[in-house]
Amino acid sequence: MSLSLDLFGSLFLHELSFWWVIVPSILLGFVVGAIPGFSAANTIIILLPLTLAMDVEVGLAFMVALYCSSRMGAGIPAILVNIPGTAGAAATPLDGYPMTKAGRGQQALAISFVASTIGGLLTTVLSIFIMPWLAEVSYHMHSVEMIVVMLFGVSLIASIAARDTLKGLIAGFLGLMIGLIGTDHVYATPRGTFGLLELYDGVPLIPALVGLFAVSEAFMIIEQRSILTEKGLNILRGAGWSATLEGVAIALRRWWHITWTGLIGLVIGVIPGAGAAIASFVAYQQSRSFSKTPELYGTGHPEGLIAPESANNGVTAGTLIPMFILGIPGGATAAVMLVVLQYQGVNIGPTLFEQRPEIGYGVFIVMAVTYLLMMVTILPLARYMPRVTMARTVYLAPLIISFTLVGSFVPRDYVFDMFLGLLFGVIGYIGRRTGYHVAAMLIGVILGPMLEQYFLRAMKMADGNLMVLFSSNIGNALWVALIVSVALPFVLEYKRNRRSAAGTA
């Protein structure tokens, strides 16, 4: 399984010839990604009759382009109106939205697009060459290792809590507690469901996402004329192409940051069941831990925006690797793609790369082509999209409420989920008003059930022996890395304080 440069070149030109299907799919992906409740997987399912009727390579180009662009699309409303389109973009507004409020929406979008494109492109190209070794990662990630990976994400709660420790931790633990609603993963015993059958499968993610971010935000913003500050409004009115290009330059200067956070996404993406949400939380937390200016995170810091965006695009290539090598899809969209490929008679496995390289390698090369075309397609939009934020909140707030609440209806067809979205909106509103960070709560809701699932699985296999958590070499190495990454910010801050104290003296 190796790819020569000649083959790479000819496949690249071959995939480029599918631009006519890739470009419309990119635009569709932006729409799908930007609306909470929709996803690339759902859209591929909805358009399945069309996909199955296409030639296998055209169908693949369509699915891959939709998949990649929906990841980027999810970041657009997260940056502009504080509404993450998917859970994978839940860490994006932490620094993206403050930039928008300050009238730097163009720069924020440009940074997000460049980080997503370069992060996605680099990890895709890298995947082509190190695929067999990356596939091994999914073999070695068992329950114990996954617990530590989840804890990397959960430790972001502590980072957020750094500004107001007690409130941050209360919000995070309340989120974790809400995440535990539903039946347990071993005996299916219902817990904390208030007797509601709709909660037996746990708290659905979209209503939580929509409520905590979008609905609560809509109730907050009506106090102002626009979501921008007066100064921000003036800045945006005067902003031209130079602001977009400034965003591009800011992102390009941080190419190394894009690279290593993208790699975090790639490795997490390879692990089946992990996904973009974990990757973006972990990348944000790691970015903050190793930053020289951690205090700027959450205030509109470009690196706080680059980390989740690059990581969640790194996940895209990662989820396809175990699918093509081992036949294990790394996520929901990859699973739907697997079904389509099997319907088309494509045999998944290492031999695919020898027998049908236009499909095996082709899928990753079409991904690279998509990222290149995406840059050309999307960058001009960064110039005009932030204009949305100039709209008066009296018009914007009802639109946000109606469309996002209906979005929470879509995944399960339950009006109950719309009420749940409103309930989370009220909780989020009270939280924002009183200084409880809604992002900490959402991390708990997203990661809580997954953490419990892996924890119970590990304990079940070890007959309840807690020492199982330290029973594997990879797991132990991850534990050390976790402790270092959590402790490092405190050590660095201590050193900085000592240095500044010495300087003052």
Partner 1 sequence: MTESAASQLQEKCPVGGELIIPVVGLLFTGYYFTTIIGSPWTAQVSALFVGSFLAVLSLIFIVKATTMVWRGEADFGVRGVFNDTDLETNRHWLLLLTVAYILVVEWGGFTITTFVFLTAAMLVLNKGNRPAFIALLAAAFALGGYALFIFAFEVRFPVGPFERLMRWLLA
Tell me which residues touch partner 1 (CB under 8 A): 31, 38, 43, 46, 166-167, 169-171, 173-174, 176-178, 180-181, 184-187, 189-194, 215, 219, 222-223, 393-395, 397-399, 401-403, 405-406, 409-410, 413, 415, 418-419, 422, 426-427, 430-431, 433-436, 448, 451-452, 455-456, 459-460, 464
What does the alpha-carbon distance between residue 112 and residue 106 come to, in Å, rounded to a whole number? 10
Shortest distance in whole angstroms from residue 432 CB to partner 1: 10
How far from 329 is each of 210, 275, 335, 337, CA to CA, in Å? 27, 11, 5, 9
**DSSP state letter for 463:** T
Q: Which is nearer to partner 1, 23 or 170 (CB)?
A: 170
What does the alpha-carbon distance between residue 329 and residue 10 come to, in Å, rounded to a whole number? 27
Amino acid (one-letter) located at 186: V
CA 264 to chain centre: 12
90 with 439: CB under 8 angstroms? yes
Angle at 470 between CA 131 and CA 281, to 5 degrees: 55
Shortest distance in whole angstroms from residue 195 CB to partner 1: 9
Q: Which is nearer to partner 1, 402 or 497 (CB)?
A: 402
Q: Which is nearer to partner 1, 183 or 471 (CB)?
A: 183
Q: Which is nearer to partner 1, 9 or 192 (CB)?
A: 192
What does the alpha-carbon distance between residue 347 and residue 166 come to, in Å, rounded to a whole number? 53
Q: Which of 277, 265, 377 is nearest to 25 (CA)?
A: 377
Shortest distance in whole angstroms from residue 409 CB to partner 1: 6
Q: Which is nearer to partner 1, 328 or 340 (CB)?
A: 340
What does the alpha-carbon distance between residue 108 and residue 363 come to, in Å, rounded to a whole number? 30
**DSSP state letter for 240:** -
Shortest distance in whole angstroms from residue 189 CB to partner 1: 4
Shortest distance in whole angstroms from residue 394 CB to partner 1: 4
Shortest distance in whole angstroms from residue 435 CB to partner 1: 7
Shortest distance in whole angstroms from residue 209 CB to partner 1: 17
Q: Which of 205, 181, 208, 105 is nearest to 431 (CA)?
A: 208
Shortest distance in whole angstroms from residue 451 CB to partner 1: 8
Shortest distance in whole angstroms from residue 186 CB to partner 1: 4
Q: Which is nearer to partner 1, 357 or 411 (CB)?
A: 411
Helix (H, G, I), strand (E, B) or coil at 409: helix
What does the alpha-carbon distance between residue 103 and residue 256 come to, in Å, rounded to a whole number? 26
The number of CA neighbours under 13 Å toward the Cβ of 83 is 32
What does the alpha-carbon distance between residue 439 and residue 402 come to, in Å, rounded to a whole number? 22
Q: Which two tokens stand for residue 207?
A: 């209503």
Q: Which is nearer to partner 1, 330 or 444 (CB)?
A: 444
Amino acid (one-letter) located at 333: T
Q: Which is nearer to partner 1, 3 or 422 (CB)?
A: 422
Q: Which is nearer to partner 1, 34 or 243 (CB)?
A: 34
